[in-house]
Structure 1
Amino acid sequence: MSTIPQHDELAKRTGHLLAACGAKVTNGDQMARTPITGGSLGAAGAAGDIGAAVDRAHDAFEIWRTTPAPVRGNVVRRLGELLREHKSQLGELVSIEAGKIRSEGLGEVQEMIDICDFAVGLSRQLHGLTIASERPGHRLMETWHPMGPVGVISAFNFPVAVWSWNAALAIVAGDPVIWKPSDKTPLTALACGALFQQAARENGAPEHLLQVVLGGGKQGADLAAHEGVPIVSATGSTAMGRKVAPVVAARFGRAILELGGNNAAIVAPSADLDLAVRGIVFSAAGTAGQRCTTLRRLIVHRSVHDEIVEKVAKAYESLPIGDPLADGTLVGPLIDGGSFDRMQAALETAQGDGGTVVAGGDRALDDEAPDAFYARPAIVTMPGQTEIVRSETFAPILYAMAYDDLDDAIALHNEVPQGLASSIFTTDLREAETFIGAAGSDCGIANVNIGPSGAEIGGAFGGEKETGGGRESGSDAWKGYMRRQTNTVNYSRDLPLAQGVNFDV
């Protein structure tokens, strides 16, 4: 078990990391802290003015929307290069501010690098269609155009990756970006913003192409409500989405929502159990259970239920918990005391519903770090899918339930309001194809023989139902940041009307 570092040394290290990325931190009312020790890292700056930021973004838009897309891609290419150069510093900063273990912090920066690579290629492929026209001498086609400023509201658990999924696509699409990061992770945003500004300057891009606006709920609400922001991408809880979505819809804006996840894995009797256990443990305990794709429900065939639970519990007991920057640590801290309290309340409710805590659930290292909140990942066997199981608790709690028939398992899987990520462990081809088919998982992501946690840049990321329906990152998610225009060009000397209409004058 690792030793928690001295807070003063951690704060000093944070200053060096910010300086290495070219970030300048000013005094103000926005404060930064680290969940590693629970202590303050000092001021991060002042809360921003969304209205002023939108005005500046529109000035940038006037230039950027007519800049050729491959030229826009040069800014993102340079950003990717700078991220590679500063990967270790940014990864460490993510660990300090969000509490992720070192490999996950570095992995998050790698996601930024990957989406930059994707977006650079995309900048030469923002293509529409040529469509057969029913009228002679006419060409029918569709083109795609920039929309305007994109507001990005990001969450603490992925303080930089999710922003980049949106920003890289928006920038090559011709849209300036206004980024309102979580008020729990402002420093990582300032560091990324500084690197972006360097990339923009070196490529002659307009000023204010990216603006980082610090603040809390007021800034997020102002961004969602501003009519000068045609697209708002918001990542967070379903409760947050319920506030953002109607505000954006009321002004006929476009919302890209990536909200709560209550993700499950089905373990079939034919599954490779050792492989399944590895996938389950990472998906459920990784990032201290604070991923939107974290595995929260385990639906196991009755014939292997007890064996799987025993193996997962044994693995949990051996997980190194502690300083996320230390080699060998696999579980870092929860973001704050509120998260730990919600975890304890959920466990108490689950036990009241007949659940049994098989392993974990208690606080760790409280004598060594009394102001931080480290928790041992919990596995709880449940008699059925009670209301607490149907709710998302952003903490490392895994509810295990037994099933007898695959149809029943899929029904149990789908019987929650969230629909983000899902998985099945099986070596039966029919079961695998059924799960990812039309009558299987109702989630935006459905995996076979890997857990629900973790995604590659090439695929669109997002979910259905209370997860919000938004899509970010790969595939054709870029269309969410542009407007489609249908064009008809008449190159004949006649004016035939569609559908054979006669209107002679």
Structure 2
Amino acid sequence: MMDLLRAGLTHKYKVLVTGIRKMHLLKCQAYVDGRWVSASNQSVFAVTNPANDAEITKVPDMEAKDAKDALEAASKAFETWRNTTAKERASILRKWFQLCQENSVNLAEIVTAESGKPLAEAKGEIAYGNSFLEWFADTARHLNGEIIPSPWPNKQVLVTREPVGVVSVITPWNFPFAMITRKVAALMAAGCTCVIKPSEDTPLAALAAAELADQAGVPKGVINVVTTSRKNASAVGKVLCEDDIVSCISFTGSTHVGKILYGMAAKGVKRVSLELGGNAPFIVMPSADLNNALDHAMNAKFRNNGQACIAANRFLIHEEVYNDFVRGFLERINKKCIMGDGTKEGVTCGPLVNDMQAKKVSSMVDDAISKGAKALIGGKFASDIGNKFYESTLLVDVSPDMQVYNEEIFGPVVSCIKITSEEEALKISNSTRSGLASYLFTKDLSQAFRMSQKLKFGMVAINDGILSTSEAPFGGVKESGIGREGGKHGAEEYTDLKYTLISELDK
């Protein structure tokens, strides 16, 4: 193991840095009832680039009153949007998809500027986000009801799906475009309207998406975007969760915040769709194709610099392949993790999104090292690049008393844990209240099915490190959320079932 440690210490990061370029589709006002508006109190807050803290633009710092106005616009629009045909809704979603496709590069530039992720990854996010617009444009016409065989000879039993109403959409900073399209396209397909509150760190992608939705002919009030700083986020969130207009709350973010919103929703017995935190195990068994596992480990861990709810968190490596896996992982990190401003070609690792996130990642690594873990590579800030660039880190000798063993890292930190059996892998994997994604690498088909059944997670990827797709239901169990996004199930989340009994058919 010492040769691995020395290899890590001799690593030299490649650094590429650039500035912010002028972006098409950059908006500096909120979007309510089909109009671009300022906050009622005229307040604004700055949106900055996490790579260099440069200000990109200022956007409205809206308050509770503004959120209420947006909800009323969405409520008014719902009365007509709900009665449009599925074919009409599908056509509008298709136009929105086409415009986003045509403007993919411009959208990606905005995502890179406000989130810091490399431009190549941002383009991937836009393609992923667009796939939901396309998918739900098709799904809108397939939200079918049922005719149930009646127990009575003169009656008919009908079950239909109706839109739930106005949806509050609260989205995170790590995928600022895709998390919006995944929710909004689904609810629109079902006949609902919405108010979106994007993260205070990344509101610009939401505004750009709204601009293209407007161009696509989405009727006014169907989509509304309320921007707010961290200072006002709590007051705005309270309105979006507790106001009587709201029928459903759709949230992606931390488990801690999700529980708070769930409590608010309970006051009005509102529908919730919660996609919360994860603690994904990445299990490598002796029969695995090691090179394939390593390639997918890079994707599962370092996509968006580890800032993803389905990012691999605990690497559970069987003792028979442990040393080879760690050695191969170290080599790939050395070669492929290139830090810098995301607009520069070749950069694969941008900054962490904000100071709070950077401090959290650093403190978790420091905690592990203080308790005996070794960083074969990384383990500190790359302060010569910027104050939010944390080096890609590989930890070994990780033990259960460390935060990185038990908690979601949400950063570029690999925790390798040696296991001796399938049973141990399952025990460690399931020893968490999170249950979003999990990864298993094995060539043993029986083992793959057996372990998949026993892994207490909403999603299991076997021999693959990227599992999300618009066609499949995305979501978790335990404290990782309620409901599913994507697939036909994603649109059904925004519908209520209505049972209609038609009687006296024999007269």
TM over 0.5: yes
Q: Is the 8 A contact 2:149 2:156 kept in 1?
A: yes
Deviation, 1:283, is 1.2
What is the match of residue 499 of structure 2? 486
What is the match of residue 93 of structure 2? 76
Question: Structure 1 25/156 Cα, relative in aligned 2: closer, same or farther at 3 Å?
Answer: farther
Q: Is the 8 A contact 1:21 1:194 kept in 2?
A: no
* Letter of the structure 1 residue corresponding to residue 369 of structure 2: Q
Q: Is the 8 A contact 1:249 1:255 kept in 2?
A: no
What is the match of residue 442 of structure 1? 456
Deviation, 1:387, is 5.2
1:144-190 Cα shifts (integer Å, max 9, x gaps): 00111111000000101011111001112111111000000011111
- The number of equivalent residue pairs is 479
Q: Would you say 1:411 and 2:427 are equivalent positions?
A: yes
Match among 260, 268, 292 for residue 251 of structure 1: 268
* Letter of the structure 2 residue corresponding to residue 286 of structure 1: R
* Letter of the structure 2 residue corresponding to residue 356 of structure 1: K
Q: Is the 8 A contact 1:261 1:293 kept in 2?
A: yes
What is the match of residue 236 of structure 2? 219
Deviation, 1:128, is 1.3
Q: Is the 8 A contact 2:341 2:350 kept in 1?
A: yes
Match among 464, 473, 486 for residue 486 of structure 2: 473
* Letter of the structure 1 residue corresponding to residue 348 of structure 2: L
Q: Secondary structure at the match of 1:398?
A: strand
Distance in 1, Cα, partners of 2:314 & 2:121: 22
Distance in 1, Cα, partners of 2:354 & 2:28: 27
Gaps of 5+ in 1: 495-505
Q: Secondary structure at the match of 1:141?
A: strand
Q: Is the 8 A contact 1:264 1:295 kept in 2?
A: yes
Structure 1 residues 81-120: aligned runs within 5 Å: 81-120=98-137
What is the match of residue 394 of structure 2? 379
Match among 35, 45, 53 for residue 30 of structure 1: 45
1:297-353 Cα shifts (integer Å, max 9, x gaps): 000111111211121122112221112111111111111222121111101221233
* Letter of the structure 1 residue corresponding to residue 55 of structure 2: S
What is the match of residue 309 of structure 1? 326
Q: Would you say 1:47 and 2:62 are equivalent positions?
A: yes
* Letter of the structure 2 residue corresponding to residue 381 of structure 1: V
RMSD: 2.0
Deviation, 1:421, is 0.5
Distance in 2, Cα, partners of 1:107 & 1:301: 32
* Letter of the structure 2 residue corresponding to residue 331 of structure 1: C
What is the match of residue 499 of structure 1? none
Match among 334, 353, 357 for residue 335 of structure 1: 353
Q: Would you say 1:350 and 2:368 are equivalent positions?
A: yes
Q: Which stretch has the larger CA shift, 263-272 or 343-352? A: 343-352
Q: Is the 8 A contact 1:151 1:223 kept in 2?
A: yes
What is the match of residue 182 of structure 1? 199
Distance in 1, Cα, partners of 2:119 & 2:440: 28
Deviation, 1:417, is 1.4
Distance in 2, Cα, partners of 1:396 & 1:227: 41
1:86-108 Cα shifts (integer Å, max 9, x gaps): 00100111111111111211111
Q: Which stretch has the larger CA shift, 331-340 or 37-46? A: 37-46
Q: Would you say 1:18 and 2:3 are equivalent positions?
A: no
Match among 256, 273, 290 for residue 239 of structure 1: 256
Q: Is the 8 A contact 2:137 2:189 kept in 1?
A: yes
Distance in 1, Cα, partners of 2:367 & 2:221: 48
Question: Structure 1 327/22 Cα, relative in aligned 2: closer, same or farther at 3 Å?
Answer: farther
Gaps of 5+ in 2: 1-13
Q: Secondary structure at the match of 2:217?
A: helix
Distance in 1, Cα, partners of 2:261 & 2:296: 34
What is the match of residue 136 of structure 1? 153
What is the match of residue 158 of structure 1? 175
Q: Would you say 1:460 and 2:477 are equivalent positions?
A: no
Q: Would you say 1:191 and 2:208 are equivalent positions?
A: yes
What is the match of residue 288 of structure 1? 305
Q: Is the 8 A contact 2:435 2:479 kept in 1?
A: yes
* Letter of the structure 1 residue corresponding to residue 215 of structure 2: Q
Distance in 1, Cα, partners of 2:235 & 2:122: 28
Q: Secondary structure at the match of 1:200?
A: coil
* Letter of the structure 1 residue corresponding to residue 272 of structure 2: A
What is the match of residue 427 of structure 1? 443
Q: Which stretch has the larger CA shift, 116-125 or 377-386? A: 377-386
Q: Is the 8 A contact 1:21 1:191 kept in 2?
A: no
TM-score using structure 1 length: 0.91
Structure 1 residues 254-269: aligned runs within 5 Å: 254-269=271-286
Q: Secondary structure at the match of 2:498?
A: strand
Q: Is the 8 A contact 2:30 2:207 kept in 1?
A: no
Q: Is the 8 A contact 1:321 1:374 kept in 2?
A: yes
Question: Structure 1 40/354 Cα, relative in aligned 2: closer, same or farther at 3 Å?
Answer: same
1:458-505 Cα shifts (integer Å, max 9, x gaps): 0011111111123112132211101101122124347xxxxxxxxxxx
What is the match of residue 10 of structure 2? none
What is the match of residue 4 of structure 2? none
Deviation, 1:354, is 2.9
Q: Secondary structure at the match of 2:331?
A: helix
* Letter of the structure 2 residue corresponding to residue 309 of structure 1: V
Distance in 1, Cα, partners of 2:27 & 2:245: 33
What is the match of residue 292 of structure 2? 275
Distance in 1, Cα, partners of 2:401 & 2:91: 51
Q: Secondary structure at the match of 1:18?
A: coil
Distance in 1, Cα, partners of 2:462 & 2:121: 23
Deviation, 1:420, is 0.7
What is the match of residue 501 of structure 1? none
Deviation, 1:386, is 3.4
Q: Secondary structure at the match of 1:363?
A: coil
Q: Is the 8 A contact 1:316 1:360 kept in 2?
A: no
1:174-219 Cα shifts (integer Å, max 9, x gaps): 1111100000001111111111111125xxx3x2110000112321
Question: Structure 1 345/484 Cα, relative in aligned 2: closer, same or farther at 3 Å?
Answer: same
Distance in 2, Cα, partners of 1:124 & 1:486: 20
Deviation, 1:362, is 1.6
Distance in 2, Cα, partners of 1:413 & 1:284: 16
Q: Secondary structure at the match of 2:481?
A: coil
Q: Which stretch has the larger CA shift, 265-274 or 115-124? A: 115-124
What is the match of residue 500 of structure 1? none
